[in-house]
Chain A
Amino acid sequence: MTKKTANLRKEGRAKLTGRALYIDDMHLPDMLHGATIRSPIQRGLLKNMQFQGDLPWHEFTIVTALDIPGQNFISMIENDWPALVEKKINHHGEPIALIAHRDKYLLARALKFIHLEIQVLNPVKDLDESLKKKEILYGDDNIFKSYLINKGDIDQVWQQADYIIEETYNTGAQEQLYIEPNGMIAKYSEDRGITVWGSMQCPYYIHRALMPLFNLPAEKVRIIQTETGGGFGGKEEFPSILAAHAALLAMKSGRPVKMIYSRAEDMANTTKRHPSQTHHKTAVNKEGKILALDIDFVLDAGAYATLSSVVLSRAALHAAGPYACDNIRIKARALASNNNPYGAFRGFGAPQSIFALERHLNKIAKAIGKTPTEIRRLNFIKKGDSTATNQIIHEDIDFNHLLDLAMEKSHYKKKLLEFKEYNKSGFIKKGLGIATFMHGAGFTGAGEKYLASVTTVQGTPAGTIEVLASSTEIGQGKNTIFSKIVSDALNISEDFVCIVNPDTHLVPDSGPTVASRTTMVVGKLLQSAATALKETLIAGQKLKPKYTGQEFSQAIKNYIHEFGALKSTTQYKQPNNITWDEKNYQGDAYVTFAWAAYIAEVSVNTLTYATKVDRFTAVQEVGHVINKTLAEGQIEGGIAQGIGYALYEKVLYKDGAMINNQMTNYIMPTAQDLPQMAVHFAEDHKDYGPNGAKGIGELPIDGPAPAILNAIENASGMAMNFIPMLPEDLMVAMEEQERNAKS
């Protein structure tokens, strides 16, 4: 057994030498380039389309909705998202037609000579207009989906409360900003059907979307993942629409078609994090115990339903946080508007509702004369308590311990005193802010049961092991983690383990690569499959219970020689102790949670109004950590995105179009902007997942924004209740405060 590759990123060498092949690095003979003709307005009716100018139009392949062989929708939760506009235009940039040519420069030129005749209709621009039913876009009230979670009876509490505290919190849209834009290549032939290669998180989502669109059976749609340059949710559902477009052009032209979005096209037209508004009304007694939480949460879902109902669900299920409270009402709604459809983004609704709650806790603390740590300690959930859905916490979670660790590692008490002194003079004000939170791992409720994911571990005639799953490597380290889990279960070197690239003709559906589920759920399935494979070899007397890597390899060869194949498949079965009532939103919302206490240290410059995060401490309980380097990488990357979410990343719209759709004016953190990060894993509990490894990917984006805004309040006294919170926002607020102080 060699140590050489242990724990190192499996595909690392290819990435480090530029040999890893991403979709834009791939070229097929006779390939055309495809482009999208988009709506220039937010809402209207398509009347006509003309191809003008002195261009050789006969050389172009042009596809409209009329060319769709099957049904014109991208199959998702609701089948309302058309692949191409037929008549009604519901958002700016909505795809109307597709065009392809072998010369990509001529293609770009042709786009300028396509004239669209559109009857303009009044758009619904934001949450407020949608709530007021300015125009009805969906159903009779613009509500795509609503949930009501009820625990106890909040209405009986208001009378006995010592304090009732109310506030409204807002969060903006956020672009995933994977550095590799979305891209696909499609090929079609009558006998083989459609093959699509591309950058994606969920090959089987695309597979399911293309079958009804083309009216083709499963075996005639093949989806293959190429190396994927980041996803963060942005390549969860959106790639289905781009794959559909490339495939439509390929079918009509009879040639392979490549569609790669430019950065500007990608930013303006792909799904982003949902903007949200949360209203909190909270009853508290004078000791600081929360008696009732009344939470009203709304999301702007945009023009189509996409995954908004599931995002809304996760937001609602995280809205009451890791706090024990007997009376909770959470009313959550996702609303239709004429904005670009919002979609999946790391955290999936939780960062929005957690931002509101964690800011609100600080408001409560201030109102009743407690510190931010006291209010949290007084209300932390613990073993035996129940969540908003009456899910009993069986894990012996010690939140006080997590908070203690975070305070110790950030020198919280000492610095709080120092900063109080420091802030007495000068224009830089320093402060500390806390967020304590949890993130449910895996699909919500019965989600995993319905997914019923399948994985396979098989031997090869060469005596190696192949891992088959549709879970994608998107930078998070799936290849490395799967390799480690399987090689550990088999007690062999990782060098014997090959992770088969996701291809719907070769791998089973192990579910989408989302929801912090890949290691915990799929990894666990692989562990079982690998163990079963080993037991087969031992039971078949091909292997002794104790063996070397070479003996194992030989045993595989012998087994295959004798029986033809060695294959072990496992399918997810929900543990019996999980119960979930989807109708009333009661029961075990998640099989387990990751828990965290984050502390931000900031400097607020009261002359420039700029906020800088100086240090960030992240303590989390995620069960067993399989690979510390990868796990820390997930946390640090999530914190970076969270800092961007809080302080830099603002999507600017004009008439429904994103107008800062460039990296020059949509600002993400650079190497110069980020603080020193202290990441610590408390591996206290190993109750779920392979060897107790829980989900981790999304957790770190939940905490930074509220921790930072809490720190800003601690530093400057400014209670800012929305993100992104830019220097100009702080300036307006501080100037207003000054004016109020004077008058």
Chain B
Amino acid sequence: MVLRKLTIWGALSGASILESIRRKDLWVAVILSVLMIGAAGMLGRFGVKGLETFLKSAALTVVNLLSVVLAVIFTARQIPEEVSRRTVYPLLARPISRFDLLFGKFLGAYALSLLGLLLFALIAFGALKWFGLGVGTIFWQYLFLRALILGVVCAVTIGLSVFMTPQAAITISLLLAMVSQTFSSAVMLLEADSQQAGKLFLHGTYFALPQFNLFDLSSRVSFGWTTIPTVTVLQLTVYALLHIAAWLMLGALRFKRQAL
């Protein structure tokens, strides 16, 4: 049973990856990488002495930004395109459930997003090394947490994409991911001056929505702070897995009832 499920999910995610390669989606990542290399080369001409912290911060911000944008774009159209091109019918005619289809598509998009993240991180790492800047062991923790959060980003996006149009799913997912830090700070500020009902609402919203900013160690890497405790990494792993499961279940429930 498990083996059969794994085979189905593997086949569906493989098909998603092949489809993206065929559609030359990965060129987006390549073009963005070339832009990153160009920007690093241009900065190198001006000299980086004394700007180490700033450079690390800028490089990691670019990695965070591009990997999230790519993940959202890859994921948002997986299901809606299958439906609009009517290729979903032959797929569902086979002995696979709608959840299998959603999960397989999620895995495919996640694999592509990880590929993008690794590519951007490799370029950033290479550029920083080229400038003679070390990033320390914490960089690997940073990379692991970014890989985890991309899973949440993909789950949120695919979950939303069965409720709304791909464009709306992209907008909301990007908003959730990009303004996470601002949202968190705003909730903390508003909470202090709110009445009981307001506090309840803010607490509920804070705990219900995924806090993407908790997976960002870029500031620690840039300012040369030490690694974080392993127990915190484990707590974040559990947190990410719970959110991935919740958003996939939500998406699956909706997809199951959706008239195709």
Whether chains A and B associate is no
Interface residues of A (CB under 8 A from B): none
